[in-house]
Amino acid sequence: MLKAERAAYILQRLQELYPQTPVPLDHRDPFTLLVAVLLSAQCTDERVNQVTPALFALADNPVAMAALSVEQIREIIRPCGLSPQKSKAIKRLSEILVQEHGARVPPDMEALERLPGVGHKTASVVMSQAFGVPAFPVDTHIHRLAQRWGLSSGKNVVQTEKDLKRLFPREYWNRLHLQIIFYGRQYCTARGCDGRNCEICSTCYPDRKHPKKTRKA
């Protein structure tokens, strides 16, 4: 298969497998999504979903969150890991939202990326899933799958994102990034598939004899 043919097949197959694409992180609005995505760094979505109900019961908006102490936030989010950094970031970004954005999450990529603890991937998730703006968030798992499927040879997530955006129509980006995540977790895991075992890998590369070595993000 040529790269364009692989992309077309993958898009069609993922649409068939995952016609619905619910966001795995429980949230109610852009702010709670922003906090949940921030907490998900180096943490599973399941663990985040266990932690956020208690946090949002105390503060589910920037004004209330800014009023909490770093210690209060840290005590609740401790199971997510990296709690010292994450608690400071959540409090400070809440203060900035109150001071500079009318206590609202701005639907602007650059403004989001300037918030503490919010990188490009987190900002992309919020833009795509909270505001419906086409974006293609790429994490390390998507980066790895894009290499296994011959869609990108990028050395990092930045290049992989550019490659995927060139390959797939803009109107599919928001759903497709979730569909790839769903498929990767179910079928093309780091330990369960080495580039030869799952349906997509074996269809794209039926003659692949050796495990596919992927570049770390």
pLDDT in tens, 90-119: 999 999 999 999 999 999 999 999 999 999
Q: Are 50 and 120 within one domain?
A: yes
Determine which one of 86, 91, 121, 163 is catalytic. Answer: 121
| Structure confidence at residue 213 as a pLDDT band (50, 70, 90) | confident
- Asked if residues 135 and 124 have their Cβ atoms less than 8 Å apart, the reply is yes
| CATH number (domain holding residue 164) | 1.10.1670.10
Q: Are 37 and 124 within one domain?
A: yes
DSSP class per residue in 147-165: HHTTS---SSHHHHHHHHH
121 given a catalytic annotation: yes
Task: Indicate if the pLDDT at residue 216 is higher than 80.
Answer: no
| pLDDT score of 190 | 80
Report the number of distinct structural domains present in the chain.
2
Q: Are 108 and 160 within one domain?
A: no
For residue 126, the tally of other CB atoms under 10 A from its CB is 28
Rounded Cα gap, residues 192 and 184, in angstroms: 10
Question: Which range marks the domain in which residue 186 is found?
Answer: 3-21+136-204
Rounded Cα gap, residues 64 and 95, in angstroms: 10
Determine which one of 86, 91, 139, 163 is catalytic. Answer: 139
> What is the arithmetic mean of pLDDT over 41-48?
94
The closest alpha carbon to 150, from 125, 133, 167, belongs to 167
Task: Indicate if the pLDDT at residue 217 is higher than 80.
Answer: no
Q: Are 79 and 169 within one domain?
A: no
